[in-house]
Amino acid sequence: MCPFRACGFESRPGHFYITYPGGEIGRRAVFRRLCLRACWFESSSGYFQALHAPHAGLFVSPFFSEPSPAFSGYLCTVNTTASPLHASMFDTPASQPWVIAGPCSAESEEQVLHTAKALAETGRVHLYRAGIWKPRTRPQSFEGMGDPALQWLVRAREATGLAVCTEVANARHVEACLAAGIDAVWIGARTTVSPFAVQEIAEALKGTDVPVIVKNPMHADLKLWVGAIERVQALVHGPVFALHRGFTGYAHKEYRNAPMWEIPIALRAEKPDVPVLCDPSHIGGRRDLLEPVAQKAMDLGMVGLMLEVHPTPEQALSDAEQQITPKRFTELLDGLTIREEQLSADQIDGLAALRMQMDSLDEQLIELLAARMDLARNIGAFKKEHGLTILQLERWKQVYASRSTWGQDQRLGAEFMSNLLEQVHTESIRVQTEVMNKKK
Ligand code: PEP
Ligand code: MN
């Protein structure tokens, strides 16, 4: 059976080929992005990526064993017999997101198997995840079960047929995954920040067809993310995915990691061949935020989701606040609206993208202003304790002068800066006065 049938392929023994006219493809966003803009294909003579030609018209491919420069559209042939798991991993109906799900960490063989079975039963999962080597911020946290857990994943695959993936942070992890036959790997946010580490991982994967999912770096540095993707693409034959998991920032309170949607949008503009997935679990950090984040990702045309699922989330050894049960996972996916008419790539790259970037920047501006006012409250409390006046004229003069220069350097109008600073100062005085006047 052709594993890509939902995407419009037709199969012949040992090969399959595309028979869809261009118009039909245009309506199949997942197919286009996931399988053709993104996907690698394998043939008996090796691996290659499908060509992406946005203006492809009607085409019918004969059997090819290699990509041909004569292709005028999205065209390829695939030998499906070599690696059926890889292929089924991408078998996604156009109306559904591509889904990676599983516990934050592999905790025991029983937990890994139990969760895999429950998720396989939902029929919504394409790739099963579980962290084995956990990069934790603090050393006293649970750091994963290590190498023995690889076999738990392998057994979960045997029991359910789900392809499996885990996080790798160095060459040794990669070698252990390759030896165990893990189907796909992801590079975590703490690793993407280090070009040395990413290069080491790419070299360890060199020449393989392992799909690699590259999470964004911890901080909002688009170039670092793009660079990590390029390091992997240069050496690995498998498909490469970008996974948006949000960014750390001191002013963000609502999310565990601020989504800053403009960054994945900019990534898509820079690397249109790389499908972007979203990880609502690590963005939200809280169960109640998963659904709105996942919905937003779908509205922005992201092709898939990574969700952390645990049989008893409250007892999870890592990320307990953000994991959900398999039941809740199904409810979440059922609740998503996958809009038929998604924004086209052109719209996303145009006005709509600019507006979304604007929304995100405004949100950050407001969060920063709120953080500034919190600081003003702390300063108010300090002044109260030490019997100082609220208005310290010399300090205000310095603030005004330095910020005016910074504004000028950033090409902001002098009058605008002056009004803004006055407004911010007035609000600071107001909140400090509140603190001063508060009875103990
Ligand atoms: C994870 O997926 O469990 C993880 C550690 O993610 P991140 O690298 O996004 O923090
Ligand atoms: Mn996690």
Residue-wise pLDDT tens digits, 293-307: 999 999 888 889 999
Taking the CA atoms of 414, 419, 422 and 423 in sequence, report the sign of the dihedral they define: negative
Q: Which residue has the tokens 């600071």?
A: 428
- The CA distance from 168 to 214, in Å, is 10
Question: Helix, strand, coil: what percent of the chain each, to 5?
Answer: 50, 15, 40
Q: Residue 277's beta-bridge partner residues? A: 243, 304
Is residue 227 within 8 Å of residue 242, measured between CB atoms? no
pLDDT digits (tens, 9 = 90+) for 246-280: 999 766 678 999 999 999 999 988 888 788 999 99
| Measured torsion, CA atoms of residues 435, 436, 439, 440, in degrees rounded to the nearest 10 | 80
Residues 6+ apart with CB under 8 A from 171: 200, 201, 203, 204
Q: What class, spelled out in words, does domain 96-349 have in CATH?
A: alpha beta
Amino acid at 46: G
Of 34-43, 88-97, 368-377, 421-430, the range with the lowest mean pLDDT is 34-43
Q: Any idea what DSSP says for residue 32?
A: I
Sign of the Cα torsion 266, 270, 276, 281 reads: negative
Give the three-class secondary structure for 295: helix
CATH 1.20.59.10 range(s) for the chain read 360-437
CA of 12 to the centre of ligand 1 (A): 40
How confident is the model at residue 46, as a pLDDT? 32
pLDDT at residue 71 is higher than 50: no
User: Lowest-confidence range among 251-260, 339-348, 349-358?
Assistant: 339-348
Q: Quick one: which H or E segment has residue 119? A: helix 109-122
Q: Is 185 in the pocket of ligand 1 (CB under 6 A)?
A: no
Mean pLDDT for all residues in the chain = 79
Percent of the chain with pLDDT over 70: 74
Residue whose CA is at the smallest distance from ligand 1 atom 6: 188
How far apart are alpha carbons 226 and 378 in whole angstroms? 39
pTM over 0.75: no
- Residue scoring higher pLDDT (356 or 115): 115
pLDDT per position as a tens digit, 281-291: 999 999 999 99
To test the ligand 1 pocket, which listed residue (104, 212, 244, 281) has its Cβ within 8 A of the most ligand atoms?
A: 104
Q: Amino acid identity of 396?
A: W
Q: For the domain made up of 360-437, give the CATH fold.
A: Chorismate Mutase Domain, subunit A (1.20.59)
How, if at all, do strands 15-18 and 9-12 pair? Answer: antiparallel
Mutate to test the pocket of ligand 1, among 100, 133, 245 (most ligand atoms within 8 A of CB): 245
CB 104 less than 6 A from any atom of ligand 1: yes
CATH 3.20.20.70 domain residues, the chain:
96-349
- Predicted confidence (pLDDT) at residue 49 exceeds the cutoff of 50: no
Residue located nearest, by CA, to atom 9 of ligand 1: 189
- As residues whose CB is below 5 A from the ion ligand 2, the structure lists 104, 319
CB distance 282 to ligand 1 below 6 Å: yes
Residue 235 has pLDDT above 80, yes or no: yes
Question: How many C-beta neighbours within 10 Å does residue 274 have?
Answer: 22
Mean pLDDT of 424-440: 89
Structure tokens at 247: 């960014």
217 Cβ closer than 6 Å to some ligand 1 atom = no
